[in-house]
Amino acid sequence: MKPFDYQRARDLETAAEAAQAGGRIIAGGTNLLDLMKLQVMTPERLVDITRIPGLDRIESDGPGLRIGALVRNSDLSADMRIRTGYPVLARALLAGASGQIRNKATTGGNLLQRTRCPYFYDPAMACNKREPGAGCAAIGGVSRMLAILGTSEACRAAHPSDMAVALRALEAEVETRRADGATRRLGLDALYRLPGERPDLETTLEPGEIITAVLLPAPLPGATQSYRKIRDRASYAFALVSVAAVVRMEDARIATASLAFGGIGARPWKDPEVDAMLSGQSPSAELFVRAADRLLAQAETDEGNDFKREMTRRALIAVMREATGLAPASTGTDKAEVPA
């Protein structure tokens, strides 16, 4: 690890000024410190925001909730307001990391964690996300954990966060504070960039802009929420495919559906056309297959990750069967097998 300066910010203004000047914000450090040890990231200064008051609270925000950026993942998943009103979020957090990591990881840090693409983590490999213009060694390489939606010729990396997938299904927003003191609210689709030609620019945050909170809308009355994650091992591996769903039934029809996906996208993936296709329809296996076909219409795969097409299809169908009460298929077609 290279030498660095350490600064403890006393308030958001101090932290924003330091970050605008090139400092790197740190809270739990569960991802950043690993990257520094590997010299994938080498900030000259760390700006510790953990002592800034008011950022570690879960508070009412009208009919919804305001989750401070410093709320620990363990506290968030255990909060009864989350477990009862937003169970998809609690399940995603519990599936995302061990208890030790959840005790350190923060809400804001989880949203801003870096990809687990092995080529990003290896400084000997070309990576446009780590070094713009260096190339992408993942193209033609081992692709098992890479994205199949939203990629570009410059980057194939998948977004790693379980929490962000659940938040996309819940239509959550983030609250930020800019260096000039101005605040704004962003949906997750507006927060995350697709890689395009500049995969190193992962979010739309400006220099010195800090995430201060996540804003959850009121729970949808009568909705079923579920989170399904398929991974290489049962204990805290990153998703090959994950699905977060918020589905409300009315008169035996799908009144509304909000689905988000992890493990397959360059950012937490949501396709509004899939939600629209499902909403207002009677649940059926044929409908769910068509929704999966629409979701995967633009997927780009190779030999190493083509299995994600069928795995995603089966996961979507299984989650929608569960959410709508449609009887499970008796043929085993909803079983997702993980290839070696």
Domain boundaries, the chain: 5-51, 223-327
Enter the pTM of the model: 0.94
Instruction: Tell me the pLDDT tens digit for each residue of 98-153.
Output: 999 999 999 999 999 999 999 999 999 999 999 999 999 999 999 999 999 999 99
Residues with Cβ < 8 Å from 301, sequence gap 6 or more? 143, 148, 308, 309
Residues 166 and 227 sit within 8 Å (Cβ to Cβ): yes
Q: Average pLDDT in the 246-272 region? A: 98
Please name the residue that has the structure tokens 């990396």.
157
Assigned CATH for 223-327: 3.30.390.50
Instruction: Tell me the pLDDT tens digit for each residue of 208-223.
Output: 999 999 999 999 999 9
5-51 and 223-327, same CATH topology: no
Q: What is the DSSP string of 234-255?
A: TTTPPPSEEEEEEEEEETTEEE
Nearest to 3 by CA among 49, 38, 42: 42
Assigned CATH for 5-51: 3.30.43
Does residue 332 carry a pLDDT above 50? no
pLDDT of residue 329: 67
Q: Average pLDDT in the 28-53 region? A: 97
